[in-house]
Structure 1
Amino acid sequence: MTRRTLALVALLVIALAALVPTVNTYVAQRQKLSELQSQVSQQEQQVESLREQVARWDDPTYVAARARERLLFAMPGETQYRLTDTSGSDVPLTEAEQAAEAAKEGEWFSVLWESVEGSSRLTPEDIPDETGSTDDDVSEQNPADDTTDQDTDQ
């Protein structure tokens, strides 16, 4: 290798060492900028949907419909009926509410597994001794202390 080639290679290495972090920073900032722009557009859409909801509440018929649905209000002269099943509990108003209740209960194996996990969290204090009493049933007083009470009575 000649001195020229060696100097050119050294100059190229120095230039790359100076440019790589700068280019890396530029690319990272561009990615962050695109993420922030997408976040801003999503938030603008949310603001627009919230403005639409606010505009709906300015309509008296919409307010009346929501009051009838949520608060069970009735117009003058109307009679409301509330259906119950044979157990006496309220019947869900919609299929969506029924699906939500079923999802809340969970699958049978999920309930079973939660029961197994719960039983594994027992501590020795939770388990009664052979006589069937727990630490809560036994008094904290030492039996030897009872003799001192008898001595003071005499």
Structure 2
Amino acid sequence: MPPPRSASGQLRVSWLLLVAVGLVVAGFVVLAPSVGLLLEQRRDIAALEAQVAAQQANVEALEDERARWDDPAYIEAEARDRLFYVYPGETSFVLLDDRSTLETASADVPSDTLEEPQSDWAAAAAASLLVAGLTDAGPASFGVPADLPEPE
């Protein structure tokens, strides 16, 4: 028959297990910010590498454009196309497409005769100025809120 275990032996195993679990948890607590920082830096590095690749592609496209401008035939073609340059003795023709303006123009034709207005606008404006300047009525009669101070 095996010897009976003492209560203190079981207690030591429990304490040992508790200390080991505590050390593992403390390790996670200490290392978690560093691991998070590492992952964040890796994401930043990947984003910056993608940005560098895009900029390198842009530089290559600009170098290709510059190489095209080194070709005299390309310069001549661009001058003819953009600036309408021609050699002496050549005749240049520019075609204007004016069909779009005719299609959008209104079909209504203004009348050929002048029409006399029914009222005299100058007399109406002068009468309005006289009435506004010579009246004794307050601002309330003109639709102004009553809480505004009246002019002196």
1:50 matched residue in structure 2: 62
Which structure has the bigger radius of gyration?
Answer: 2
- Cα deviation, residue 84, structure 1: 2.4
Structure 2, unmatched stretches of 5+, are: 1-10, 102-124, 136-152
1:56-101 deviations in whole A, cap 9, x for unaligned? 1121111111111111111222212122235487xxxxxxxxxxxx
1:62 matched residue in structure 2: 74
Name which of 140, 143, 147 aligns with 2:133.
143
In 2 relative to 1, CA 87–63 (structure 1 residues): closer, same or farther, beyond 3 Å?
A: same
Q: 2:26 aligned with 1:14, yes or no?
A: yes
1:36-68 deviations in whole A, cap 9, x for unaligned? 111111111111111121121121111111111
In 2 relative to 1, CA 34–64 (structure 1 residues): closer, same or farther, beyond 3 Å?
A: same
**Partner AA of 1:4 in structure 2:** L
In 2 relative to 1, CA 86–78 (structure 1 residues): closer, same or farther, beyond 3 Å?
A: same
| TM-score, normalised relative to structure 2 | 0.55
Aligned length: 98
In 2 relative to 1, CA 88–40 (structure 1 residues): closer, same or farther, beyond 3 Å?
A: closer
- Cα deviation, residue 144, structure 1: 4.1
Structure 1, unmatched stretches of 5+, are: 90-136, 146-154
What stretches of structure 1 move > 4 A for 4+ residues in a row? 86-89
Name which of 3, 12, 16 aligns with 1:4.
16
In 2 relative to 1, CA 66–86 (structure 1 residues): closer, same or farther, beyond 3 Å?
A: closer
CA RMSD of aligned residues (A): 2.7
| TM-score, normalised relative to structure 1 | 0.55
Identity of aligned residues (%): 35
